[in-house]
Amino acid sequence: MSEYTVVGQTVARVDAVEKVTGAAQYGADVHPPGMLYGKIVRSKHAHANIRSIDTSEAEKLPGVRAIITQDDVPSGRRVFATDKVLYLGEPLAAVAATDPDIAEEAAERIKIDYEVLPVVQDVMEAIKPSAPRLHGDDTKDGPSRREISGQIRTLSRDKENDHSDEISKLEAELENYPDEVYYNISAESHTEAGDVEKGFAASDVVVEDTYVIPRVHQTYMEPHVSVASADSSGKVTVWASTQGPFAIRSGIAGTLGIPLTQINVIGTTMGGGFGGRFGVIITHVPAVLLSQKTGRPVRVQMTREEEFTDGRPAPGCVIKLKTGATNDGRILAREALAFWDSGSVSGASIGSTIRVRGVYKIPNLKVDAYGVHTNKSGTAAYRAPGAPQAIFAGESQLDEIAERIGMDPVKFRLMNMREEGDEVPAGGSEPKVGYKETLEAVADAAGWWDREAGENQGWGVAVGDWTNGCGPGGVYVSVHEDGSVRIFHGSMDITGTDTAISQIIAEILTVPYESVTIRRGDTDSAPYSTGSGGSVVTFTMGNTAKLAAEDAHRRILELASERLNTNVDNLELKDGAVHVISAEPPKSISLGELAAYSLSTTGGPIVGKGSFARQASTPALAAQIAKVEVDPGTGRTRVLKLVASQDVGFAINPMAVEGQIEGGTVQGYAWAMMEEMQYGEEGNINPGFVDYRVPTSADLPTVESVIVEVPAPNGPYGAKGVGEPPITPTLATMANAVKDAIGIRITELPIKPEKVVDALKSNGH
Amino acid sequence: MAKLPVNLTVNGDEHDLLIEPRKTLLAVLRDTVGLTGTKEGCSTGDCGACTVIVDGKAVTSCMVLGVTASGKEITTIEGLASDGELHPVQQAFINTGGYQCGFCTPGFIMASKALIDENPDRTEEEFRHALGGNICRCTGYTKILEAVLKAAEEIRTTA
């Protein structure tokens, strides 16, 4: 029996009725009077110099109210391309018109004169000296050259001694690595712990492979949209479908030179985000500019095709990975070299390459990662950004090692998993996390230990780790005269977080969950809140909500102490009333009575305030097992069973937690098996759901979820952020299951049927 | 562009409208009738977010021109609850957690209702295939199927 009455229980979400009746208001549902429709004019080439932009024909079209280009951006920050476009679909201008069809027609009438340039889409081509260069000075040294150059720098700094001989020797050695000067590099990241060379030398088995993970789109169902309204006083209101209204506010302020107090961002109900809904310039800035220019509200809404060409998807990458282990199953060393496809701007989550270390005791680790420019749109976060890619490589290779040393893949992982107090390679000391419990739970639930596989069937297992983020947030709680409770805050509900916040406050104020209502504010009226990404909300806002409720709780006891004429130490809040402890006959006063009484006191109404910024969070583990059947004729893989467990710390709303596990797992499945943004000479070639397949209910069986609860010390009631971890292991889970079924390791995702058929053919089937 | 007269019955209310021939039924419902519960997810008939029921059949309203729906009876998500009571499909989606962001939910509920009306005895596998035209990105479909099967069972037993 739980010691809690509201948290830990499955409750219907606070937004249940509005979401099943069509009443919830999403971005495109906002329609202020006089609204115009914006349309972005996009490049038709992936790489080209712009000779001229001619808007005259578009201006003549009746209904066109404004056309803007980069000349209209006061800060000069790149919103529209001017002299050069770097990817297909890059914005060049925007139009506002009285009707969406007129806006579209006007956009087509704008004449762009292009001088087409050579295109580079593949990261491994982009790093070569022969590749077209997207930006100026962007060459970097690879790992070996870096090491040698570092030694040269150290020696040159020593002015006391003469090292000229050593230096010239090292300089000559540099010549041995001509391929290690990389071009089109946007960023780099390097980590080292122990000595990998020694680790490999001491290993009985060393496996080396190259893993290729495609660029995929978050594919939230609601395309990007914003509605902006600039009034004659200069005040700007933006209805934005975004994960972070406060970030959008500061982004607009910085780009357009508008004071923060003159911008109000109203976050509309969000039709999915998954990390891809933080961008400022995609629709919000053009909408504000068009509204400023026309004096009317303007909606800028992307089509699904525009989402694919100019969204900010998850980066693809190429990871060269090497792992060494002993015959008795100890992992001794791991080395990674990764190239992340960052697109036209930097921003790919290259730091996540470190996730190849997994949750294992690896004494020697070396990770080198580079972000690479290609002629594609920039990238953004997607559910545990960077982790699914790195973990795909790491967990695929673990199975290869397990196979070579003849160990069961689950046992091999259990044996190498870190325990509390163990050193994390390049990362401090391990806290208490349910790594083994979570893997054991999924193995038991899936029937791993007595698994059977028919012909062409196979089983795969993998684990993935992730740690929720944390950020600043504020919450107010107000108790009304009828005993009901109102919550005010500024974070966007990311599928269930408002419900979790409400549950926490109901728990502390001992009122029924139904009597708590939550009001999400705009940036004008709500306290600051960090964006809803990085699994931060339940951790951050849950803690903030707790503080606010505890603050209200203090005031409630203070009022009751006045009313009941006794010290607060003799009082307890229970079932929505304050009771005098062990009073005979019982003596109590209800929350409603106290709230009514508070209005005539010196101290005033019951208002609780919570403000919170940072606490260390605890890693979470997701462990999954799949059973598949591969049709050797068609190459199609059918999932027979998909079981997902996760250490969630504490499940505040178990049904919502299961929903996160199931949804994340299916997104991981899709990345493994079907999704891939494809690029040709002229950019993205599959910008729609016919060619970019996402899973439907027909593709999958029921996902079985298993909740494991090892409390996080600083989480509210021990809770961890649950949204991101479940996508992290699935790519490898699927690849490992396919390997088990057909005996061939596929290292390049997605595992589409044609790839399986090709693999079988080239292996003599 | 010249507009044409169109007569639509939406959730029982009659609307006499003048519509440009190029406007889709989805655009008419959202922008002219003002019912925004029906969502636009792709505009190419691939995601099912815009599903409404036209003369008893589930259709993707982004693939229908508004003028061709003249004289037809249309039910949208806003017309499903009656007398303040949620429809069993809506209630089942709440009870099982069959929605998350909610953007695909109106389309899923309308498609499910039409399928259950047609044949509530489908198996889970049959419902999985029949709902293959609706995309949900949040739930992984497990809880949606649970909702649809629950609603079908309830409708079957109360019919």
Task: List, for residues A218-228, the tens digit of each pLDDT value.
Answer: 999 999 999 99
CATH of the domain at A43: 3.90.1170.50
Distances (CA, A) of A413 to A397, A452, A461: 12, 20, 10
Report pLDDT digits (tens) over A474-502.
999 999 999 999 999 999 999 899 999 99
Q: What is the C-alpha separation between B15 and B5, in angstroms, rounded?
A: 10
pLDDT at B123: 97
Q: Return the exposure string of A137-166: e unless at least 16 CB atoms fall within 10 Å of the residue's CB, then b.
A: ebebbbbebbbbeeebeeeeeeeeeebeee
Provide the pLDDT confidence category of residue A169 given band limits of 50, 70 and 90. Answer: very high
pLDDT at A763: 86
Task: Let me know whether A456 and A496 are in one domain.
Answer: no
Q: What is the C-alpha separation between A468 and A502, in angstroms, rounded?
A: 20
Q: Does A135 touch chain B (CB under 8 A)?
A: no
Provide the pLDDT confidence category of residue A2 given band limits of 50, 70 and 90. Answer: confident
pLDDT at A682: 86
Query: Which among A565, A593, A612 is the end of a domain?
Result: A612
Q: Is the pLDDT of residue A198 over 90?
A: yes
pLDDT at A426: 87
Listed by number, the residues of chain A in 188-247 with a beta carbon closer than 8 Å to a beta carbon of chain B are: 218-223
Mutation site, A20, A21, A304, A495, interface B, largest B CB count within 10 A: A20
CATH of the domain at A624: 3.30.365.10
| A219 neighbourhood in chain B, CB within 8 Å | 137
Q: What is the C-alpha separation between A414 and A435, in angstroms, rounded?
A: 8
Q: How many residues does chain A have?
A: 765
| A705 neighbourhood in chain B, CB within 8 Å | 142
DSSP label at residue A417? B
Neighbours of B86 (CB within 10 A): 18
Q: Which residue of B has its CA nearest to A654?
A: B97
Listed by number, the residues of chain B in 72-101 with a beta carbon closer than 8 Å to a beta carbon of chain A are: 76-78, 80-81, 86, 90-91, 93-97, 99-101
Q: Where in chain B do CATH 3.10.20.30 domains reside?
A: 4-79
Neighbours of A428 (CB within 10 A): 7
* Nearest alpha-carbon partner for A216 in A729, A686, A737: A686
| Burial status of residue A452 (CB atoms within 10 A of its CB: 0-12, 13-18, 19 or more) | exposed
| A31 neighbourhood in chain B, CB within 8 Å | 31, 36
Task: Let me know whether A452 and A502 are in one domain.
Answer: no
Task: Let me know whether A105 and A242 are in one domain.
Answer: yes
Report pLDDT digits (tens) over B95-111.
999 999 999 999 999 99
Q: Which residue of B has its CA nearest to A691?
A: B46
Q: What is the C-alpha separation between A418 and A429, in angstroms, rounded?
A: 10
The answer to whether the bond into A585 is cis (omega within 30° of 0) is yes
| B105 neighbourhood in chain A, CB within 8 Å | 19-20
Q: What is the C-alpha separation between A287 and A298, in angstroms, rounded?
A: 6
Class of domain B4-79 as given by CATH: alpha beta
| A101 neighbourhood in chain B, CB within 8 Å | 20, 22
Q: Is the pLDDT of residue A1 over 60?
A: no
Q: What is the DSSP string of A581-604?
A: TT-SS--EEEHHHHHHHHTTSSS-
Q: Which residue of B has its CA nearest to A223?
A: B41
Listed by number, the residues of chain B in 34-73 with a beta carbon closer than 8 Å to a beta carbon of chain A are: 35-44, 46-47, 49
Q: What is the C-alpha separation between B76 and B106, in angstroms, rounded?
A: 8
The proportion of chain A whose per-residue pLDDT surpasses 70, expressed as a percent, equals: 100
Q: Is the pLDDT of residue A765 over 80?
A: no
Domain with A636, as residue range(s), is: 429-468+617-762
Listed by number, the residues of chain A in 9-38 with a beta carbon closer than 8 Å to a beta carbon of chain B are: 10, 12-13, 15-26, 28-29, 31
Q: Is the pLDDT of residue A213 over 60?
A: yes
Q: What is the C-alpha separation between A112 and A90, in angstroms, rounded?
A: 13
pLDDT at B1: 72
Residues 6+ apart with CB under 8 A from A9: A2, A503, A513, A653, A654
Task: Let me know whether A435 and A515 are in one domain.
Answer: no
Is pTM, for the whole model, over 0.95? yes
Report pLDDT digits (tens) over A647-689.
999 999 999 999 999 999 999 999 999 999 999 988 999 999 9
pLDDT at B158: 87
pLDDT at A698: 96
Query: Which among A285, A301, A317 is the end of a domain?
Result: A301
Q: With CB atoms and an 8 Å threshold, state whether A19 touches B132.
A: no
Q: Is the pLDDT of residue B84 over 90?
A: no
Task: Let me know whether A481 and A509 are in one domain.
Answer: yes
Task: Let me know whether A481 and A539 are in one domain.
Answer: yes
Task: Let me know whether A635 and A744 are in one domain.
Answer: yes
End-to-end, the C-alpha distance of chain B in Å comes to: 48
Q: Is the pLDDT of residue A444 over 80?
A: yes
Q: Where in chain B do CATH 1.10.150.120 domains reside?
A: 88-158
On whether residue A86 sits in a domain, the answer given is yes
Number of folded domains in chain A? 4
Q: Is the pLDDT of residue A581 over 90?
A: yes
Which region holds residue A305: left if phi is over 0, alpha if psi is between -120 and 50, else beta?
alpha
CB A37 within 8 A of CB A99: yes
A181 SS3 class: strand
Q: Which residue of A has its CA nearest to B92?
A: A20
B101 SS3 class: coil
Q: How far is A192 from chain B (nearest CA, A)?
A: 37
Listed by number, the residues of chain A in 286-315 with a beta carbon closer than 8 Å to a beta carbon of chain B are: 303-304
Q: Which residue of B has its CA nearest to A497?
A: B100
pLDDT at A447: 98
Mutation site, B29, B94, B141, B150, interface A, largest A CB count within 10 A: B141
Class of domain B88-158 as given by CATH: mainly alpha
Q: What is the 3-state secondary structure (H, E, C) of A262-309?
A: HEEEEECECCCCCCCCCCCCCCHHHHHHHHHHHCCCEEEECCHHHHHH
Listed by number, the residues of chain A in 655-684 with a beta carbon closer than 8 Å to a beta carbon of chain B are: 655-656, 658-659, 662-667
Considering CB atoms only, which of B109, B132, B144 is closest to A698? B132
pLDDT at A248: 97
Query: Which among A612, A628, A661 is the end of a domain?
Result: A612
On whether residue A422 sits in a domain, the answer given is no
On whether residue A403 sits in a domain, the answer given is no
pLDDT at A764: 81
Q: With CB atoms and an 8 Å threshold, state whether B37 touches A666.
A: no
Q: How far is A703 from chain B (nearest CA, A)?
A: 6
Task: Let me know whether A475 and A464 are in one domain.
Answer: no
Strands (E), A511-558: 516-520
Q: What is the mean pLDDT of chain A?
A: 96
Task: Let me know whether A677 and A714 are in one domain.
Answer: yes
CB A634 within 8 A of CB A753: yes
Task: Let me know whether A596 and A493 are in one domain.
Answer: yes
Q: Which residues of A carry out catalysis?
A: 724
Quick one: tokens of A507? Answer: 């728990």
pLDDT at B83: 87
| B81 neighbourhood in chain A, CB within 8 Å | 21
Q: Is the pLDDT of residue A725 over 80?
A: yes
B87 SS3 class: coil
Q: What is the C-alpha separation between A699 and A628, in angstroms, rounded?
A: 12
Task: Let me know whether A493 and A640 are in one domain.
Answer: no
Give the neighbor-by-neighbor strand order of the sheet with A571-574.
Answer: A571-574, A577-580, A588-590
On whether residue A196 sits in a domain, the answer given is no
CB A625 within 8 A of CB A448: yes
Q: Does B112 touch chain A (CB under 8 A)?
A: no
Which region holds residue A337: left if phi is over 0, alpha if psi is between -120 and 50, else beta?
beta
Q: What is the C-alpha separation between A206 and A659, in angstroms, rounded?
A: 39
